Amino acid sequence: MSAEELTRARTVLGLSPGELAAEIGLTEPVVRAWEDGSLRIPQHYAIQIVWRAAVAERQAALASSGLPECAWVTRWMDSAPPLGAGAQREHLDALRRHAAVCPHCTARARFVEQNFPPMPDLPIPPTVRALRTAGGALKRLPVWLRVTVIGAMAVGVLTILRIAGLAIGGEGPSPVNALGLLIGAIIIGAYQGAVGGITYSIVRDPLRKIGRLGDYLTGILCVWAYLLASVLPLQLLPDRPEFAHPDQAPALALGGALVGVIIGHLWFRHR
């Protein structure tokens, strides 16, 4: 953001340098230094100011357009947002549903689209933006590959935490061994995730046809496949099999079924 762009945005907002500084949590000399070019404007402040100026610009244009405001939207904006993520999502969905059919809302939206470019990026923290970008990239992958990546990441993070805990206790591995453990954990996590994801891709559509029961069966089969992928390679090791006695297998199967039912109820049921 250049100094001239900042000055223009501040003018659109109708704020003095001191008022803008107060609203974004800084001091007036900092904003004045941005405007005279002696201090670089950090990107996260620039994104915030540009977005706010774009909103103010569109609001001013709508106010002078002569288009009537929507009484329903006015009441919606004056109402207190509900508590809880689900209630808040429904609150926003109600606004979207109304705006899609309301003639006043569609006319105002058409006016903005015809007279302004698309809105700039939302002023969200860089970490959240990175997570949203990563989430969008994951959604574009096939299900089995998506779960493979998630499995690799999850096991990798757990391994890093485990290595850090050992290091704090003075028993941490050498850097070379730690890197080897991390790479091995990522490969194992990717393999386990791929097995679970491929199982999901195979069984989900047929089981979806039987309703709620299919959700639970999908969860159970995915967890069982994940457990088998975890246990069978260890069973092949002659010196330390995962189950020295076969009678331990039913307990593992029962525990996996319970976890699968929970996953089917909390996750697959809402898909």
Burial of 39 per CB tally in 10 Å (0-12, 13-18, 19+): middle
Q: Taking 80 as the threshold, does the pLDDT of residue 47 lie above it? A: yes
CB atoms within 10 A of CB 136: 9
Mean pLDDT across 39-56: 91
Question: pLDDT tens across 53-64, in order?
Answer: 999 999 999 999
Q: How many residues does the chain have?
A: 271
Six-digit token string for 22: 């107060």
Q: Break the chain down into helix, strand, coil percent, rounded to 5.
A: 75, 0, 25
Query: pTM higher than 0.75 for the full model?
Result: no
pLDDT band at 271 (very low <50, low <70, confident <90, very high): low
- pLDDT for the residue numbered 159: 85
Mean pLDDT across 6-35: 93
Alpha-carbon gap, residue 58 to 65, rounded angstroms: 10
Six-digit token string for 247: 């009678």
